[in-house]
């Protein structure tokens, strides 16, 4: 597998959208650098066990938003992206992760107070390990 993309079996988010967002995150996070090649549509479809139609849709959206560019006969590459845009992707994905966690908590009927408590506790245990509060 060329790209560390994991499709969710539990999310109703369309598959092309999941792929689109995860590639954006790989670009924003620096795993995919400007100019690095992306797998061909057919190859990524095989790796992710989806169809070329789905991958093409994801690539087209990414290209439209300026994250990647296709050079005729050469392939698809990561485009030059402004810092602010990368920042925006990071912010969105962090918000998304918190929203997902909240959904789980709400489904177990936790109150806002309890959720805050859990958040504080998790943060606290992390700072002991030294990987937060840097």
Binding residues for other proteins (CB under 8 A): 9-10, 12, 14-16, 40-43, 45-46, 49-54, 107
Closer of 40 and 93 to other proteins (Cβ)? 40
- Token pair for 22: 């995860």
Q: Residue 51: is it exposed, middle or buried by C-beta count within 10 angstroms (0-12/13-18/19+)?
A: middle
Name the minimum Å distance from CB 125 to other proteins.
Answer: 26
**CB contact set of 9 (below 8 Å; sequence gap of 6+):** none
Cβ-Cβ contacts under 8 Å for 110 (sequence gap 6 or more): 118
Find the shortest distance in angstroms from Cβ 129 to other proteins.
Answer: 30
Q: Which residues pair with 76 in a beta bridge?
A: 38, 70
CB of 52 to other proteins, least distance (A): 5
**Shortest distance (Å) from residue 62 CB to other proteins:** 17
CA gap 117, 114 in Å, rounded: 5
CB nearer to other proteins: pick between 40 and 92: 40
For other proteins, give the closer residue by CB, 16 or 67: 16
Residue with Cβ nearer other proteins (70 or 92): 70
């Amino acid at each position: 597998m060329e790209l560390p993309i994991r499709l969710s079996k539990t999310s109703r988010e369309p598959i092309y959208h999941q792929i689109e967002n995860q590639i954006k995150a790989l670009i924003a996070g620096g795993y995919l650098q400007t100019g690095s090649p992306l797998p061909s549509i057919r190859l990524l479809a095989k790796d992710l066990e989806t169809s070329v139609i789905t991958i093409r849709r994801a690539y087209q959206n990414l290209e439209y938003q300026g994250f990647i560019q296709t050079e005729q006969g050469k392939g698809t590459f990561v485009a030059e992206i402004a810092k602010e845009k990368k920042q925006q992707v990071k912010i969105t994905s962090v918000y998304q992760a918190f929203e997902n966690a909240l959904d789980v908590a709400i489904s177990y009927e936790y109150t806002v107070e309890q959720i805050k408590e859990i958040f504080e506790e998790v943060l606290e245990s992390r700072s002991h390990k030294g990987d937060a509060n840097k």
